[in-house]
Amino acid sequence: MRVWKFGDDINTDVITPGRYTVTTDKKRLGEIAFIEYRPEFGKNVKEGDVIVAGNNFGCGSSREHSPVAIKAAGISAVIAKSFARIFFRNAINIGLTLFVSEDADKIDDGDEVELNIKTGEVRDITKGITIQAKPLPEFMQKIVNKGGLVEFLRSGGYDDI
């Protein structure tokens, strides 16, 4: 999994500029993710890649378009020092894996990483280091593993909690 590195306070307008939020087409949203901030992102992101960011990732509006766009672009997880609360919940609701780690800044753009959703372990293969992230609570892991809250509920997910 290749890393795409971002800084602090990456807001929802950076992820999905407002003029593009007139669509709910997931494919289109994946194509426009970070289109103005990192224009190369949509053309070069690969299925399974990972975003690493600083503090307050996903701040701004409460629109669900932003985590949908990230997931639709092929991103398998976002590792950040902290997340805006609404973005965090929207991401879990659509099945996007999130990791919170104070050591996220030790990982650089282009590094290759391996993730363990159960333990929160993030192994940077490029640097040969491992950082610890706070794993999602088990019930949130189940929601993510089902592909989001709707699929979790359809599958009778609460029976497993």
DSSP for 122-142, written as a single string: EEETTTTEEEE-BPPPHHHHH
Predicted confidence at residue 156, as pLDDT, reads 80
Domain ranges of the chain: 3-136
Predicted confidence at residue 155, as pLDDT, reads 86
Predicted confidence at residue 109, as pLDDT, reads 97
Predicted confidence at residue 159, as pLDDT, reads 63
pTM attached to this predicted model:
0.92
- C-alpha distance across the termini of the chain, in Å: 30
Q: Which CATH fold topology does 3-136 show?
A: Aconitase; domain 4 (3.20.19)
Tokens of 122: 């993030």
Length of the chain: 161
Alpha-carbon distance 9 to 30, whole Å?
20
Beta 3-5 vs 129-132: how paired, if at all? unpaired
Alpha-carbon distance 107 to 11, whole Å?
20
For 140, residues 6+ apart whose C-beta sits below 8 A from its C-beta are 92
Q: CB–CB of 51/81 below 8 Å? A: no
- Using 50 as the pLDDT threshold, list the residues of the chain that sit under it: none
Strand ranges across the sheet with 97-100: 3-5, 50-53, 77-80, 97-100
Q: CB–CB of 133/100 below 8 Å? A: yes
Alpha-carbon distance 66 to 88, whole Å?
11
Predicted confidence at residue 158, as pLDDT, reads 65
